[in-house]
Structure 1
Amino acid sequence: MHSLIYLASQSPRRSQLLTQIGVAHALLLPGPQEDAEALELALPGEAPVDYVQRVTRLKLEAAVQRHAQRGLPPGAIVCADTTVALEGVILGKPHNGADAAQMLAQLSGQSHQVFTAVAVASGAGRWAALSISQVQFAPLTPAQISAYVASGEPMGKAGAYGIQGAAAAFIAHIEGSYSGIMGLPLFETAQLLRSAGVLD
């Protein structure tokens, strides 16, 4: 390892995934004065693949400014964003339990796409990659949906589920990157960090 690596994400899963591949990192989280949620607003008619890459770029530039403002030691900054889409429609983070239940009912018995964009900044350099996976949900009963929503797990997660949690029991098949569906595609992330010269 050649330099510090900062992870600009509030997701504990992204931090765990970086640690899994041996990448030591410090968290670079938004301050109370930053409106991180505002960066995640979709534009009217925006395609999921465009949305996830645009939001990741915005998050990265916000993190670069945050790093400079805080006077932190130099280092590479990693950002990512994950979007779930069903037939081209973005399913964001649920607003409440009813919203989560509605999303899960839509996903039930269907195949959907998970887009995770990842971007790295180091000095003036910028590198980005995109992971696209397909996830097939088994048909869910109303009781299964209610119990899962009641667990609280869907909250704060795109598409109202986390593949690494209890929802794994609903997923019949995946094609693509398991870590990408979790929120940080490790193969692509490692490639970007090598390109940035901060990973051997």
Structure 2
Amino acid sequence: MLLPPDLSLILASKSPRRSYLLEQAGIPFTIRTVEVDEVYPPETPVLEVAPYLARLKARAAAHLLTGDREVLLTADSVVILDEEIFGKPRDRDHALSTIARLSGRRHTVVTGCCLKSNRHEDVFASTAYVYMNDISPAEAEAYVDRYRPYDKAGAYAIQEWIGLAKIRRIEGTYPTIMGLPVDLVYERLLSFTTASASFPGRTSVG
């Protein structure tokens, strides 16, 4: 892609879905990760939680940067229904109860991202809306037992059975729901490289 040849993108995420999306977009990257407690202040507005956590991850991983031409990419996705955040399920029962809540409803997915270098930080987010058909208890059990969605916000993945058979419409981009708004990442990465050179130390949030 049209990124500076000497720019190195570091994906600070273990998510195979985010790696897959970058690979499909032809954006070269390497992976370096650290463990981060994904904790946010309870008063944080629900739409701001994902970008808050993306920034938290980037700052925790900042020591992984080894040069001025390296850029960290971190991301976090949350599922929101009725002003409540549905994160990764704790166990089977929690996954089933989460799917039961989402069944037949429209919910919101927010994926927040942070690009960070030694001199610049850019935090942004993408929002999508998912319209889900009814899911019976038996269908939910079969899905959870086969796919074990314990590492997925909202206890499901758009690219698996629920996404293929039980989602009738989305508003927003598919990659946002999958975990990385590649269109925004690419656009902001292009702007980020220019801003990093021109405005050392500037932080932008959008």
8 Å CA contact 1:127, 1:196 repeated in 2: yes
Q: CA deviation at 1:180?
A: 0.4
Equivalence for 2:21: 17
**Which of these residues, 130, 133, 139, is aligned with residue 138 of structure 1?**
133
For residue 83 of structure 1, what is the amino acid of its counterpart? V
**Which of these residues, 97, 100, 108, is aligned with residue 103 of structure 2?**
108
Equivalence for 1:156: 151
TM-score (normalizing by structure 2): 0.87
Equivalence for 1:28: 32
8 Å CA contact 2:68, 2:118 repeated in 1: no
Distance 1:123 1:41, change over 3 A: closer
Determine the C-alpha separation between the residues in 1 that align with 2:102 and 2:44.
Answer: 20
Structure 1 unmatched runs, 5+: none
Equivalence for 2:76: 81
Determine the C-alpha separation between the residues in 2 that align with 1:76 and 1:177.
Answer: 24
**Which of these residues, 148, 157, 178, is aligned with residue 182 of structure 1?**
178
8 Å CA contact 1:108, 1:140 repeated in 2: yes
Is 1:194 aligned with 2:190? yes
Equivalence for 2:62: 64
Q: CA deviation at 1:139?
A: 0.6
8 Å CA contact 2:74, 2:115 repeated in 1: yes
Determine the C-alpha separation between the residues in 2 that align with 1:141 and 1:128.
Answer: 38
8 Å CA contact 1:8, 1:78 repeated in 2: yes
Report Cα offsets for 1:49-92 as digits up to 9, x if no partner: 12111111110111112x14xx4784111111100000110001
Determine the C-alpha separation between the residues in 2 that align with 1:45 and 1:148.
Answer: 33
Determine the C-alpha separation between the residues in 2 that align with 1:50 and 1:176.
Answer: 17
Determine the C-alpha separation between the residues in 1 that align with 2:154 and 2:144.
Answer: 12
Q: CA deviation at 1:193?
A: 0.8
TM-score (normalizing by structure 1): 0.89
8 Å CA contact 2:104, 2:134 repeated in 1: yes
Determine the C-alpha separation between the residues in 1 that align with 2:193 and 2:175.
Answer: 22
- Runs of at least 4 residues of structure 1 off by over 2 A? 41-47, 71-74
Structure 2 unmatched runs, 5+: 195-206
Is the partner of 1:154 in helix, strand or coil? coil
8 Å CA contact 2:70, 2:117 repeated in 1: yes
Equivalence for 2:200: none
Counting aligned pairs with the same residue, the percent is 34
8 Å CA contact 1:122, 1:196 repeated in 2: no
Q: CA deviation at 1:188?
A: 0.6
For residue 43 of structure 1, what is the amino acid of its counterpart? P
Q: CA deviation at 1:130?
A: 1.0
Is 1:95 aligned with 2:119? no
